[in-house]
């Protein structure tokens, strides 16, 4: 499933490029004219007619189980696919099914790892492949990639999560490539990464670090303490992860509750007089990060006359 934030962002991006998008529209009629094609669609707002030079019909994917002899050998299946257990075994001993015919992850890389797991089982090897964690990529411009928990899924399960985004517009490599559109979004649950969703340059490549992090149960600290080369796109993943704890370097800190400082007096803090350095230090600790922009903000506050 693609995170709704990405679908909204992509829709806006495509519209800015001049594309017209009709959602919840059912094509009712296709007509070939002398110069182009005419498509009639039913939408919530009524009938819409669209004319175009070409028409691409994308009907989705489904398992193809006809003509492979399933009935003859007694393998159970229905319109959603062949029934298998967690080891991809069918109801008939020694017959396995992998990939699209199972109706599960209809992706080539998922099918490949299904096959590896089956072969390892046949050879009595223990397979540790996490078949439930599969990166999903959409190869368009900008690229989209997703793995793990989405924000909507978390809300549906009533999970407590922490979410952070880092924009590619603040990433040096993305700016150098001229492809700064999009962002990296990460979701944390119970102290560990649970979901990564990317829209932007080389998203299909960057998603694998997120997949590894989720699969191995890595924490924000695990990633923060791993040096990433500069300038690279993967720095955006680190920054997004650090943003979960408000520690990202190239991201404006999350807004906190405003505190009125009119007529501020140093002794009101901890009931004792404090030096300027003490106040600067407290500001740094409050944000859990020694960032230059926080120091500058603290100095500006100190320079004010109360």
CA separation for the pair 278, 160 (Å, rounded): 35
**Is 230 an active-site residue?**
yes
Order across the sheet with 26-32: list the strands: 26-32, 37-43, 46-52
Residue 252, CB half-sphere, CA atoms under 13 Å: how many? 4
Which tokens belong to 38?
């005419």
Pick from 237, 224, 245, 236: which is nearest to 162 by CA? 245
Question: Out of 109, 230, 245, 267, which one is annotated catalytic?
Answer: 230
Backbone dihedral region of 68: left (phi > 0), alpha (psi from -120 to 50 degrees) or beta? alpha
DSSP 126: P
Q: Are 181 and 170 in contact (CB under 8 A)?
A: no
C-alpha–C-alpha distance, residues 187 and 171, integer Å: 20
Q: Is 110 helix (H, G, I), strand (E, B) or coil?
A: helix
| Cα 222 from Cα 250, distance rounded (Å) | 19
Is there a contact between 131 and 113 (Cβ–Cβ < 8 Å)? yes
Give the active site residues. Answer: 230
């Amino acid at each position: 499933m693609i995170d709704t934030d990405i679908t909204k962002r992509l829709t806006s991006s495509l519209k800015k490029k001049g594309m017209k998008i009709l959602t919840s529209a059912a094509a009712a009629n296709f007509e070939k004219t002398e110069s182009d094609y005419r498509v009639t669609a039913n939408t919530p707002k009524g009938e819409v007619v669209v004319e175009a030079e070409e028409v691409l019909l994308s009907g989705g994917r489904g398992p193809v189980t006809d003509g492979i002899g399933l009935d003859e050998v007694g393998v159970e299946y229905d319109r959603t696919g062949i029934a298998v257990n967690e080891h991809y075994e069918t109801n008939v001993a020694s017959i396995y099914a992998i990939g699209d015919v199972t109706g599960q992850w209809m992706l080539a890389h998922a099918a490949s790892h299904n096959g590896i797991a089956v072969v390892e089982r046949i050879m009595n090897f223990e397979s540790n492949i996490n078949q439930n964690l599969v990166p999903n990529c959409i190869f368009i411009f900008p690229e989209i990639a997703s793995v793990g928990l989405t924000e909507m899924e978390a809300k549906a399960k009533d999970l407590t999560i922490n979410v952070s985004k880092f924009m590619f517009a603040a990433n040096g490599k993305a700016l150098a490539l001229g492809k700064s559109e999009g962002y990296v979004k990460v979701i944390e649950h119970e102290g560990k990464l649970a979901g990564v969703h990317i829209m932007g340059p080389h998203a299909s490549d960057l998603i694998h670090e997120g997949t590894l992090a989720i699969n191995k149960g890595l924490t924000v600290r695990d990633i923060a303490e791993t040096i990433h080369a500069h300038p690279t796109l993967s720095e955006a993943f680190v920054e997004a992860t650090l943003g979960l704890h408000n520690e990202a370097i190239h991201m404006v800190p999350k807004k906190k509750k405003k505190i009125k400082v009119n007529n501020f007096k140093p002794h009101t803090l901890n009931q004792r007089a404090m030096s300027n350095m003490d106040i600067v230090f407290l500001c740094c600790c409050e944000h859990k990060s020694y960032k230059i922009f926080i120091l500058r903000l603290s100095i500006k506050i100190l320079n004010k006359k109360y």
